[in-house]
Amino acid sequence: MDLINGNEIAQEIIEELKIEVSAIQGGKPCVVFIRVGEDPASVSYVSKKEKTAEKIGIESRLQLYPNSISQDELLEEISLANNNNEVHGILVQAPLPDHIDERTIFNHVSPSKDVDGFNAFNLGKLCQEQEDAFISCTPAGIIELIKRKNITTEGKHVVVLGRSLIVGKPAGMLFLRKGFPGNATVTFCHSRTPDLENHTRRADIIIAAIGKPQFVTKEMVKEGATIIDVGINRIEDSNKKSGFRLVGDVDFEQVAPQTKFITPVPGGVGPMTVAMLMKNTVQAFKGNHS
Ligand code: L34
């Protein structure tokens, strides 16, 4: 079993970006973070993004709004950022309150500033395998882990658990692309898939992104499989100061010994999401300036 250290690989990327950004002459990459409400996970993730941006030399502007903001008001804020030449990247942290349609919001971000890769234009580019698509940060982080650990994907069976726009769907598309890492056979499974374990047991690589704590058990995993655990679930733990601990979608203790590679939670995919956002922001800056 080889534990994939997401913190370490994310740090490598951050160091590479520091060098890239310090070589920029004239201007500085700038990203706007839009956060609505005070969801504790969102507060923590956005604050990680701010700190990482600062380390790299990327300017970030945090725009906070109350849960009561209307969809039109939020669209207007995005328009302002779209039209602001000082801003290269825009990120609207999910989840948004129920009265706001996330799809409408994501599609309103200018494709050239869509560092999250959530809008239809960038998702379309991903399907078309266009090199300049912004790719959603979590799936991009998964692919980067696979690349840097040199894990073979060609001819392998990848089973994606989850069909979200943010992780499941784009992750599957990435493994499907021609080239490395790609050329895999991809199966999507979700909450309506019967006999899930029939699929997962045949997987060489499992991408667990269903948001159910410790859902993947050892009976579901073949010996020598690679597991990428995308889940970040807070479960109550009275032994912790915070009152909770983080667990993935995989029962790590049980499953890890029979895997070839596995990502831990925390310290696996999470830090990669942040690193890839930074990479996309630098990309957005360079795009605007070319
Ligand atoms: N718009 N919304 C938008 N873009 C995103 O890319 C995200 N995501 C997901 C939720 N909503 C979003 C994130 O930023 C998930 N996510 C995210 C970011 C960072 C981490 C996890 C998820 C992370 O750093 N995780 C650490 C531990 C976090 C902790 O201690 O709370 C880890 O080691 O997994």
Average predicted confidence (pLDDT) for the chain = 97
> What integer pLDDT is reported at residue 289 of this predicted model?
52
Please confirm, yes or no, whether 49 is among the known catalytic residues: yes
Q: Where do the domains of the chain lie, and which CATH numbers do they carry?
A: 25-110 (3.40.50.10860), 137-270 (3.40.50.720)
- Cα–Cα distances in Å, from 1 out to 123, 226, 253? 34, 9, 12
Tokens 């700038």 -> residue: 30
In the set 2, 11, 39, 49, the catalytic residue is 49
pLDDT band at 39 (very low <50, low <70, confident <90, very high): very high
Tokens 């957005």 -> residue: 284
> What integer pLDDT is reported at residue 290 of this predicted model?
37
- Give the DSSP letter string of 86-150: T--EEEEPSPPPTTS-HHHHHHHS-GGG-TT--SHHHHHHHHTT-TT----HHHHHHHHHHHHTT
Q: What is the per-residue pLDDT across 206-262, written as a single tens digit (0 to 9) for each? A: 999 999 999 999 999 999 999 999 999 999 999 999 999 999 999 999 999 999 999
SS3 (DSSP) at 288: helix
In the set 114, 116, 229, 251, the catalytic residue is 116
* Residues forming beta bridges with residue 250, ordered by sequence position: 216
d(CA 184, CA 155): 5
Atom of ligand 1 nearest to the CA of 277: 6
d(CA 151, CA 31): 32
Residue having the nearest C-alpha atom to atom 27 of ligand 1: 266
Mutation probe of ligand 1 site: the residue of 45, 49, 108, 115 with most atoms within 8 A of C-beta: 45
Q: What is the per-residue pLDDT across 259-285, written as a single tens digit (0 to 9) for each? A: 999 999 999 999 999 999 999 999 999
| Percentage of residues in the chain having pLDDT higher than 90 | 99
**153 CB near ligand 1 (under 6 Å):** no
Residue having the nearest C-alpha atom to atom 22 of ligand 1: 270
Q: What is the per-residue pLDDT across 140-171, written as a single tens digit (0 to 9) for each? A: 999 999 999 999 999 999 999 999 999 999 99
Instruction: Answer yes or no: are the C-beta atoms of 112 and 143 closer than 8 Å.
Output: no
**141 CB near ligand 1 (under 6 Å):** no
Please confirm, yes or no, whether 93 is among the known catalytic residues: yes
pLDDT at 135 > cutoff 50: yes
Structure tokens at 158: 């990848």
